[in-house]
Structure 1
Amino acid sequence: MTYPAYPAYPGPPHPGTLPPGHTVELVTDEDAFAALAPQWRRLYGRCAAATPFQSHAWLLSWWRSYGSAGRLRLVLAREGRELVAAAPLMCVRSPVPALVPLGGAISDYGDVLLDDERGPDAEAALTAGLAALARTALVDLREVRPGAAAERLYARWRGPRYRLADSLCLELPALPMDGLVARLPSAKARQRVRAQLRRLDALGVKSRPVLPDEADAAVRRLLDLHRLQWRGRKVTGEHLRPRFREHLVRAVAPMVRTGDAVVTEFRMADEVVAVDVTLLSHRMAGGYLYGAHPRLRERRADVAVMLLDACAEYARAPGRSTLSLLRGDEPYKHHWRPERVPNQRLLLARRRTAPLLAAVLADAAARRRGKELLRRRAERKEHDGGGG
């Protein structure tokens, strides 16, 4: 069986699958995507599960930096003229023809948008739109957070489907810094953090959220500091590339204006020594990226404590219950006793595309076995004293 390289709508959803008054459309043009901004913003505001990685500013900016012509696939559901659901997707050809979320590897969460006020009708309309596309490609929703809107589509799906574990995220409760310190496992650990907070005060480190008109310059400074702090050390290479710089600068300023992000400057003796971007949603705040001058560590300032102290304040807004440390299982995060919250990978197919689902599951199983073999080999080497 062959599949098209870049799936288009192989036909609209059957009218009987759509709730009365609802329509589904497919947007494949970047200019049309850009023009959706006001409608997208309204829908985003009515989807409590949405994260900033589903905001229009983040997704459009990502597409302009990372997208490829001809691959954009936005599935939109409307009730009358009102946008009530959206799935921001793109086509990929390898390893199988699939529709994957916009945002890629630099986005910690993938999801769809569903109007909570429209309930099951919005879910049904978007599910019908995705089912039409799934005739020629696998729908592969990566990095879906537990409780995400995409879980409601998965529950409705009538064709072949499968749920896999995806990246691990670590989360803390939205508490003031004193509350986070109180959760630490020992008196010694609590004393150490309080001493670090006093050290930051003694050094005269002050923080402030920048104004929207200052955000562009602040993000550029963040990226410069990020490059400086990691000089000569292993770093995520993508964060140093021009396309990432262009994306982050372009996305964050409008997100600051709409309250989906806050950029914090940290000053010492009137010099900016660190900048942090924290992303904000209805339910969570999450520190996304920071840059810190090596001088802070030279002065024995604990940068992690400094950043968490600021982020904890933003997480305390009404309705927010989570301070997310986002993806990654780094040891320093576990110092704070976070909850381990694995993301999910939701795979959706039709009978005709079930072989694509089977191929992806086989590939995932092989990767899991490979990782397990590498883990066991490393354990044996450690047990044998590092011998080959």
Structure 2
Amino acid sequence: MTTDRRGRLSAALCRDLADFADLAAEWDALHRRCPTATPFQSHAWLHSWWLSYGAPGRLRVVLARRDGRLIGAAPLMLVHRPMPLLVPVGGAISDFFDVLVDDEDTAAAVGALEHGLHRAAAHTVVDLREVRPDASAHLLFEAWSGARSSRADSTCMELPAEPIDALIGRMSSSRAQRARAKLRRIDALGIECRPAPVHRVAGAIGTLLRLHELQWLGRGVNPEHLRPRFCAHLVRSARRMVRDGEASVREFLLDGEVVAADLSFRSAQLTGGYLYGADPRLRDRKVDVSSMLLREIAREAGGLDRGVLSLLRGSEPYKNHWAPDPVVNRRLLLARSTLEPLLRLRETQLAVRDRAAEAVGARFPAARNWRGLLGGLPDAGLAAVGRS
């Protein structure tokens, strides 16, 4: 592509699953060198997702290299509905999207990715969902030489990466008093937290999903959580991520019986609870499950330098008890200048979908998740602590 004093830059498109699998080691190294990367950009998560959800012939991963060294990556896929689009690998069950760029060679990585993506999007619009405000994808957006557009996406709730006592200190005095009482009750019952080692991840994930189904019985569980492909994806990805220190699977035991389990992720700057399951009988014992889980996740997040504890997508009322900061993700649309009419058409489609979702939500408040179902591929989040 170009050569400067630091070496030759090149951009390539990976379309073969076997080739993507072979990228694991250098992808992981780049993931560690990209400070904005979230767990949903790890190779373990993306490769496993493709095995469960990917369609043959649709993989489009843009790779940027300097003298053969991987310095940038944009994991995308081709879809044809509601129009030809390049969208993030990871789909609706991933809470955040970002491109990976080498922190030591950011400008070159962004430039090479822009060049490669411009070629890959010869006939399509690029539709990037759930981009965090500090994501590297914004650098790509600013460097884009064609048509572009940005709009608000999901709202996320975030807390400082601090121990639970510090988080309680953010509350009003009355709420803080109640929170401490809930945690004392958990301790008084003798509930034990047991992290699952790699060899027990599959069993712990199975228990988590069984309890998740039980807790939502009769209340509209997300059907994707009950499908074998979702279980297979979580087991595959979590095994690698637990091994590499990027995830934890925990079981909570009461009188020797597992009564709750959760899966959380972490990267350099972010820790978040992804999914949990809890025995409904805990309600009879007056156990506040969200407080119990958050305390353990906060212990993980406490070691981050200037990091955040993310409650991930959604602004459910229980999250507001912890006085979190709302953070709005962005949706970035990119297209070649010659395809600007297609980009404007995509904007119109999204505006129509949003108006329809607002109308449905106003008339049927319980149907809040319909917003994601009106856009072709499911857009609504499938996980996070407390999500159905």
TM-score, shorter chain, exceeding 0.5: yes
Whole-angstrom CA distance in 2 between matches of 1:217 and 1:117 = 40
Q: Does 1:100 align with 2:82?
A: no
Report if aligned partners of 2:63, 2:113 keep a CA contact under 8 Å in 1.
yes
What SS does the corresponding residue of 1:353 show, helix, strand or coil?
helix
TM-score, normalised to structure 1, is 0.90
One-letter code aligned to 2:341: P
For 2:305, the equivalent position in structure 1 comes to: 319
Whole-angstrom CA distance in 1 between matches of 2:220 and 2:317 = 16
For 1:328, the equivalent position in structure 2 comes to: 314
For 2:337, the equivalent position in structure 1 comes to: 351
Pairwise CA distance, 1:290? 0.6
Report if aligned partners of 1:162, 1:347 keep a CA contact under 8 Å in 2.
yes
Pairwise CA distance, 1:378? 7.0
Whole-angstrom CA distance in 2 between matches of 1:250 and 1:45 = 20
For 1:88, the equivalent position in structure 2 comes to: 75
Report if aligned partners of 1:171, 1:326 keep a CA contact under 8 Å in 2.
yes
Give CA deviations for 1:128-175 in whole Å, capped at 9, x if unaligned.
101112221111111101110101101111111000111111111112
For 1:65, the equivalent position in structure 2 comes to: 52
Q: Does 1:209 align with 2:189?
A: no
One-letter code aligned to 2:132: R
Pairwise CA distance, 1:375? 5.6
Report if aligned partners of 1:127, 1:156 keep a CA contact under 8 Å in 2.
yes
Question: Which of these two proteins has the greater Rg computed from alpha carbons?
Answer: 1
Q: Does 1:179 align with 2:179?
A: no
For 2:290, the equivalent position in structure 1 comes to: 304
Whole-angstrom CA distance in 2 between matches of 1:207 and 1:242 = 27
Pairwise CA distance, 1:320? 4.8
Whole-angstrom CA distance in 2 between matches of 1:97 and 1:378 = 32
For 1:382, the equivalent position in structure 2 comes to: none
For 2:35, the equivalent position in structure 1 comes to: 48
TM-score, normalised to structure 2, is 0.90
Report if aligned partners of 1:91, 1:99 keep a CA contact under 8 Å in 2.
yes
Q: Does 1:264 align with 2:250?
A: yes
Q: Are the structure 2 counterparts of residues 75 and 214 from structure 1 closer, same or farther at C-alpha, using a change threshold of 3 Å?
A: same
Pairwise CA distance, 1:108? 0.2
Give CA deviations for 1:240-260 in whole Å, capped at 9, x if unaligned.
111111111111010011111
Q: Does 1:230 align with 2:219?
A: no
Alignment of 1:18-167 (within 5 A): 21-167=8-154
Q: Does 1:197 align with 2:183?
A: yes
Which of 214, 238, 253 is residue 252 of structure 1 equivalent to?
238
For 2:383, the equivalent position in structure 1 comes to: none
One-letter code aligned to 2:74: A
What SS does the corresponding residue of 2:337 show, helix, strand or coil?
coil
What SS does the corresponding residue of 2:98 show, helix, strand or coil?
coil
What SS does the corresponding residue of 1:352 show, helix, strand or coil?
helix
One-letter code aligned to 1:118: D
One-letter code aligned to 1:278: S
Give CA deviations for 1:8-62 in whole Å, capped at 9, x if unaligned.
xxxxxx6599x95011111111111111100101110100100000000000000
Pairwise CA distance, 1:372? 4.2
Whole-angstrom CA distance in 1 between matches of 2:188 and 2:354 = 49
For 2:386, the equivalent position in structure 1 comes to: none
One-letter code aligned to 1:32: D
Give CA deviations for 1:306-346 in whole Å, capped at 9, x if unaligned.
01111110111132521100001211111111111111111
Percent identity over the alignment is: 52
Q: Are the structure 2 counterparts of residues 326 and 24 from structure 1 closer, same or farther at C-alpha, using a change threshold of 3 Å?
A: same
What SS does the corresponding residue of 2:268 show, helix, strand or coil?
coil
Q: Are the structure 2 counterparts of residues 15 and 121 from structure 1 closer, same or farther at C-alpha, using a change threshold of 3 Å?
A: closer
Whole-angstrom CA distance in 2 between matches of 1:375 and 1:71 = 33
Question: How many residues matched?
Answer: 364
Report if aligned partners of 2:268, 2:307 keep a CA contact under 8 Å in 1.
no
Whole-angstrom CA distance in 1 between matches of 2:311 and 2:326 = 10
What SS does the corresponding residue of 2:150 show, helix, strand or coil?
strand
One-letter code aligned to 2:207: R
Whole-angstrom CA distance in 2 between matches of 1:15 and 1:78 = 11
Pairwise CA distance, 1:374? 4.6
| Runs of 4+ displaced beyond 2 Å | 14-17, 367-379
Report if aligned partners of 1:167, 1:327 keep a CA contact under 8 Å in 2.
yes
User: Aligned-pair RMSD on alpha carbons?
Assistant: 1.7
